[in-house]
Amino acid sequence: MASKIYQCIETIGNRIIEQKEFLTELDREIGDADHGINMARGFTEVLAVLPKDSDNIGEVLKKTGMTLLSKVGGASGPLYGTAYMQAGKVLAGKTSLSPEDGKAVFEAVIAGIQKRGKAVKGEKTMLDAIIPAYEAYTAALDGGAPAGDALDAMCKAAEEGVEFTKTIIATKGRASYLGDRSIGHQDPGATSATYTLECIRDFVKSI
């Protein structure tokens, strides 16, 4: 896994870049119309600067976060940058990963995003995908499910979280200015977070 961490980030980056227009369209409906553009620019830079053969998982994730923080505009840069840097702290010095490491990463990422964004679940943000994903992943592992099944449960919960964002009012960021008019639109941050989790699942299952 260690020498393949670049490949995992590459998979995530390529998915975000491929979905740039869709993510931007989602953001056009309730935000600044730049989520996909900014995220694609950030990951293009990430893939250009990351070492392809590093076996230090934490260092690669930290560098990913620092790059996103500096290259992605709007709210996404600080939030995604924080998420990757928090993951990097948890996995500092690690050259292999376990399902239990996944729990610790989730916990650190959620705490970091909450602190940075001053947000909680139910406010139409990326947390509405990430928190249910964490809860489903943890419940599956604690119930004795194989790691692959836990990852499937994680992604299913994230996808359901994205659908949930369509039903609630945005209370954070530019979308909050719309009030009731934000209902019916899915959150672009929750969507890109779900893409990230799906890529992680697919990558882990492929190795």
pTM: 0.94
pLDDT of residue 178: 76
- For 2-206, the fitting CATH number among 3.90.920.20, 1.25.40.340, 3.20.20.80, 3.30.565.10 is 1.25.40.340
User: How far is CA 90 from each of CA 94, 100, 112, 128, 156, rounded to the nearest angstrom?
Assistant: 9, 11, 12, 22, 25
Measure the CA–CA gap between 58 and 64, rounded to whole angstroms.
10
pLDDT value for 3? 59
pLDDT tens by residue, 95-129 = 888 999 999 999 999 999 999 999 999 999 999 99
Q: What is the pLDDT of residue 90?
A: 97
- How far apart are the C-alpha atoms of 12 and 23, rounded to whole Å? 14
> Tokens 């194989």 identify what position?
146
Contact 36, 22 (CB under 8 A): yes
Residue 125, pLDDT score? 95
Residue 2 structure tokens: 């260690």
* pLDDT of res. 177: 67
Provide the sign of the torsion angle of the four alpha carbons 180, 186, 190, 192, taken in this order: negative
**pLDDT tens-place string over residues 21-31:** 999 999 999 88
Extract the residue ranges of the chain whose pLDDT is less than 50: 2
Q: How far is CA 176 from CA 27, 38, 158, 183, in A?
A: 12, 20, 22, 10
pLDDT at 149: 98
